[in-house]
Amino acid sequence: MARDTLFRHALASWVLRSWNCVPLKREGGDIGAMRLVLRMLGEGKAMLMFPEGTRSKDGQLQAARAGIGMIVAKAGVPIVPLRIWGTDRALPKGASLPRPAKVTVAFGEPFTYPLPANFAELRGEELKAVYLAIGQEVMRRIAALTPN
């Protein structure tokens, strides 16, 4: 998934679409993008999501947004934690071109998040709390990863 504004330039749009990126409108909830992601996951495709919703200015982890939890809960798929170091130097926020920098990637063990027994009955703030709890667990596992 990538924010829709990245698709404005022809070359970037072509590259992102060749990678099967799904454009996501970040204002409000983009139901169309979420449905497409759920369909792709249902077809057995993998999806790379950034739980924080944006790049970090200083390389420090941020809190997860509820969207990752919603996708995980509705799709019922395993999550593979992944952490990337060095992107704040390789492509800082606001930069349009990458810079030479060491980038390190680490993968964690796949896991599934156990939903509460009454999940289907939850609405409103209770449902959002579950989505946020999933996001927190994802971020906890990402934070536990170390560069090798």
Give pLDDT, residue 18: 92
Q: Count CB-CB contacts under 10 A for residue 19.
A: 9
* Span 87-139, pLDDT tens digits: 899 988 888 788 999 999 999 999 999 999 999 999 999 999 999 999 999 99
Structure confidence at residue 61 (pLDDT)? 92
Would you state the pLDDT for residue 25? 85
Q: What does the block give as tokens for 52?
A: 């924080």
Q: Which helix (H) or strand (E) holds 16?
A: helix 10-18
Q: Give the residue ranges of DSSP H helices in 43-146.
A: 66-75, 87-90, 124-143
Contact 108, 78 (CB under 8 A): no
